[in-house]
Amino acid sequence: MRAGCSRNDLTDRPKQMTEPVRRRTHARELCLQYLYMYEIQPDTAPAELDAFIEDHTKTNRDRKGRIIISEFARRLCLGVIENRKQIDDWIVGIARNWPIERMAHLDRNVLRLGVYELVYGDADAPPKVVINEAIELAKRFSTAQSGSFVNGILDRVRMLVADARSNGIDKPQPPERLEIGGSGNQTKNKIQADFTDDPFEVIPDVNEDSDDGMHKY
């Protein structure tokens, strides 16, 4: 967590927002906050999900928007928790030498949310929008370097998922982790460290000027 950002800062932020925020952007922020709480309080957080979402959306005067935000945030939270084992396998399969427990709490939860959307989420959400949203969450709530870290991993997920689906695999499995010194002939379905392109190149922002046109993502 970046310096000066306490847990209260994170969980109270939606109530302090004054600028318009796209509905799904707001829902993703709520999901990140809940996943953070879930890690700290795994025994009590599941029973508090509905109350958490209600408390952080009740001041929204847009009734339709409030419903969309609540439903999408709930779906994301439950989806990440239900699939967390496989989601973590995706992350560690790509982030070689970075065990999930070594990652910052916020970084790994941003990654979990992004992987869930890319692998298990709605097909109508463009992958680059999902990745850009995750980058912004990481930069906003974590460290200056977190955006590039998140971008590098999620872009690999995007490419692997696209490749699998082009071959008729609708639900691709996580890549196997390639350990240092592993057998050279075990390359199928592995992620190599010597990428030919830059894994930390930031994807250009998608043009999302219109809330009406983009809130569904």
Give 68-87 pLDDT, tens digit per residue: 999 999 999 999 999 999 99
**pLDDT score for 79:** 96
Would you give the end-to-end CA distance of the chain in angstroms? 26
Q: Left (φ > 0), alpha (ψ -120 to 50) or beta: where does 104 sit?
A: beta
- List beta partners, residue 176: 190
- Minimal CA–CA distance to 140: which of 23, 54, 28, 63? 28
What is the spatial distance between Cα 50 and Cα 79, in angstroms, rounded to a whole number?
A: 14
**pLDDT score for 21:** 52
SS3 state of residue 97: coil
What is the spatial distance between Cα 121 and Cα 151, in angstroms, rounded to a whole number?
A: 18
**pLDDT score for 214:** 40
What is the spatial distance between Cα 217 and Cα 208, in angstroms, rounded to a whole number?
A: 10
**pLDDT score for 171:** 87
Residues of the chain under the 50 pLDDT cut: 1-9, 11-20, 178-215
**pLDDT score for 177:** 63
- List beta partners, residue 190: 176
Is the Cβ–Cβ distance between 45 and 29 less than 8 Å? no
**pLDDT score for 18:** 32
Give the pair of three-digit tokens for residue 134: 């995750």
